[in-house]
Amino acid sequence: MTDASFEPNDPAEFAQEERDLERHGLHLELNRRTFLQTAGTFAASMALGVSETAHAKDVTPTVVRSVTLSVNGSPRQLSLDTRTSLLDALREHLDLTGSKKGCDHGQCGACTVLVNGRRVNSCLTLAFAAEGSEITTIEGLAKTADPRDIADLHPVQAAFLEHDGYQCGYCTPGQICSAVAAIEEHKRGALSIVSLHTGKSNHPEMTDDEIRERMSGNICRCGAYPNIVSAVRAVAKGGMA
C-alpha cells in the first residue's frame, strides 16, 4: 500500500505552499514536491554518469605478444593477450580441454597441471610465466600418444580406472595430475602437516591420512574420495609412478 504522505499534492495545495513560503521569505526553500522531483532527476543523472565512467574504466588496452610454450613435449607458439591464464591458453588456444575450469580461483584443483613436474593451478598461472618450462597436462601423461589399452596409461591413470576413482569425471584430470606430483613429492621426502603432527619426518609412510592431506587441494563434488585414496595408495606403495 502506498503511504499517503508520499503522494504528490494537488495543484491547489501546491499553490498554497508556494504562497506560504513567499509570505515567510522562504520561497527558495525546497518543498516536498520539488525536493522529490529534484532528487529523482539528480539520482538519474548520477546513475548515467557512473555507468559511463565505469564503462570507460573497464576499457583496458589489450597487449598481445608471442609466447612459446612447451606442452607435453612439443613447442607450441601462440599470440596471446599478456593477461591470459595458462588454463585458458591450454583450453581455448591449444584445444587441450582435459584440464577443467571449475572455480577459476585456485580453490577446487580441477585445473591442476604439472609445470616442471610440480603441480600448479593453471587458472592462477599466467601463460607467459610458464614460458621456458615443461608443461604436462592430462593428455600428456600416458605412455603413448594414442593409448589403446590400460597398459598404455600412466600408472596413476590406470589405478583410477581399477579403483573407480571417479564418478562424473570433471575433477579427474586435476586429481590425477595432482596425485602424480604428490607421489613424486613423497618419494623426494617432502613432508605434509600430517607428517609433522605424527612426528614422522623421515620419509613417512604414505598412509591414508597422508594421502588425504596431500590431495586436499583437489575437490571431488561427487564424493569419490575413498576410491581416490585407494588409487593413490596403490601406486604409492607399488612404486609405479
Helix axes 225-238, 172-187, angle to 10 degrees: 40
Phi and psi at residue 79, to the nearest 5°:
-110, 115
**How much is the pLDDT for 199?**
92
Tell me how far apart the alpha carbons of residues 43 and 49 are, in angstroms, rounded to a whole number: 10
Question: How many whole angstroms separate alpha carbon 127 and alpha carbon 145?
Answer: 24
Q: Express each pLDDT in 122-140 by its tens digit.
A: 999 999 999 999 999 999 9
Sketch the domain layout of the chain as residue ranges. Answer: 4-58, 64-238
Q: Write down the pTM of the prediction.
A: 0.75
Rounded CA-CA distance 186/145 in Å is 27
- pLDDT per residue as tens digits for the range 9-43: 567 777 777 777 666 665 555 556 666 677 777 77
Question: What pLDDT sits at residue 189?
Answer: 94
Average pLDDT over residues 156-178: 97
List own/partner pairs for 233-236 with CB under 8 A and 24 or more apart: 233/206, 233/208, 234/159, 234/162, 234/163, 235/155, 235/156, 235/159, 235/179, 235/183, 236/183, 236/186, 236/206, 236/211
Length of the chain, in residues: 241
- The model's confidence at residue 6, banded by pLDDT at 50, 70 and 90, is very low
Report which residue type is found at 192.
Answer: S
Tell me the CATH number for domain 64-238.
1.10.150.120
Quick: pLDDT tens for 80-123.
999 999 999 999 999 999 999 999 999 999 999 999 999 999 99
Q: Is residue 203 pLDDT above 90, yes or no?
A: no
User: Is the pLDDT at 77 greater than 90, yes or no?
Assistant: yes
- Given CA atoms 34, 37, 40, 42 in this order, what sign does their dihedral have? negative
Q: Is the dihedral of CA 8, 11, 12, 16 positive or negative?
A: positive
What pLDDT was estimated at residue 235?
A: 97
Q: What is the mean pLDDT of residues 182-197?
A: 94
What sign does the dihedral 168-171-173-175 (CA atoms) show? negative
Structure confidence by residue, pLDDT tens digits, 226-237: 999 999 999 999
- pLDDT at site 50: 59
Instruction: State residue 241's pLDDT score.
Output: 47
Confidence band (pLDDT; 50, 70, 90) for 47?
low
The pLDDT mean for the chain works out to 88
* Burial tier of 184 (Cβ tally within 10 Å: 0-12, 13-18, 19+): middle
What pLDDT is attached to residue 60? 75
Those residues with Cβ within 8 angstroms of residue 210's Cβ, 6 or more apart along the chain or in another chain: 186, 192, 194, 195, 204
